[in-house]
Amino acid sequence: MTFERKTIVVAMSGGVDSSVVAAMLHEQGHDVIGITLQLYDHGMALQKKGACCAGQDIYDAKMVADRLGIPHYVFDYESKFKQEVIDDFADSYLNGETPLPCVKCNQSVKFHDLLKAAKELKADALATGHYIQKIINGNRAEMHKGFDENKDQSYFLFATTKEQLDYLMFPLGGQTKEETRALAEKYNLEVANKPDSQDICFVPNGNYRDIITKLRPGSDKAGKFIHIDGYEIGDHKGIINYTVGQRKGLGISFGSPLYVIKIDPEENKVYVGPESDLVKTKFTLKNVNWLADDLAPNEARVEVKIRSTTAGVNAILSHNEQNSFVVTLLEEEKAITPGQACVFYQGARLLGGGWITREIE
């Protein structure tokens, strides 16, 4: 088979995964161009260790590119990131939701603007270090879970469109993290033993409340705890401090354990009740992305994940009168949380996903 040399842009975060992708493709003989995104204030970035797209990470990506002898560019997407990800993060909490900023970042900045930049550089593809698999079935590109399910990142990429998937490459999808680190040692990359990024990149010390109150003054306005049976049970410290399913930190004295059941941002109320009231079987999704052209989404039997770290549960998808997607679970699930993602699978294949609304039964 004749080797087809391509120009490939690699999204280099400064971590071991994307660095190995750049080294692999370079070793294969492709023309590799590294791009690193500066997504938030450089001064704040230097304070935040172990994060994606921070000051040290930009330096590390440049160091790897220099070792490989490939071009490397840093793109300043700070204003775009603030608008599309950070502001959305704050507003989601004010709307009584629990956001997923990493999905929003992939959906907007990384797989939209970065992909556009790659095409402007006349690249044949954009490669990332995500642990997912792109499988060509006939003339159709499908997204599948990563080979190593402990590292699978498909949940966070459910919003990838068919057009984007056609252009993307995921060279690490068929291997384990241990194999990736071994390759980093083989290529003699300085980041071989660098820890994985943790938490939300733009939240120093994990304190997201400080970010929200700075962006949205008055967002921590106190209100009432309401028992799910309808009576007041105490005062809360602002709805941004609570999420569905939360038990600890409520500060309520009661005879039995209480959990956050739902949040009403219009009335500034937090409803609490016993754990049994967290069990739900039906909810509505918005902004659904459907990747499976060969399957009809209505009345489809699928496996859904409502959190990245949990096993999937069987469900049926349907449309309601407003043409929104409705998910009916065939097994009970707890703490279905507005603002989080619901992602659909058939086996290892990702079919699509959407955002959980506050319409939960």
Helix, strand, or coil (residue 188): coil
Query: Is 52 known to be catalytic?
Result: no
Instruction: Calculate the dihedral angle through the C-alpha atoms of 189, 195, 201, 207, rounding to the nearest 10 degrees.
Output: -160
Q: Going by C-beta distance under 8 Å and a sequence separation of 6 or more, which residues neighbour residue 288? A: 297, 325, 352, 353, 354
In degrees, to the nearest 5, what angle opens at C-alpha 48 toward C-alphas 42 and 54? 45
Residue 57 CA to residue 36 CA, distance in Å, equals 9
Residue 1 CA to residue 99 CA, distance in Å, equals 47
Query: Which residue is catalytic, options 52, 53, 102, 105?
Result: 105
Residue 285 CA to residue 355 CA, distance in Å, equals 5
Residue type, 323: N
Query: Which residue is catalytic, options 52, 53, 102, 201?
Result: 201
Count of CB atoms situated within 10 Å of the CB of 63: 16
Residue 236 CA to residue 264 CA, distance in Å, equals 12
Tokens 């009168």 locate to 321
Query: Is 201 known to be catalytic?
Result: yes
Token digits of residue 307: 């959190």
Known catalytic residues are 105, 201
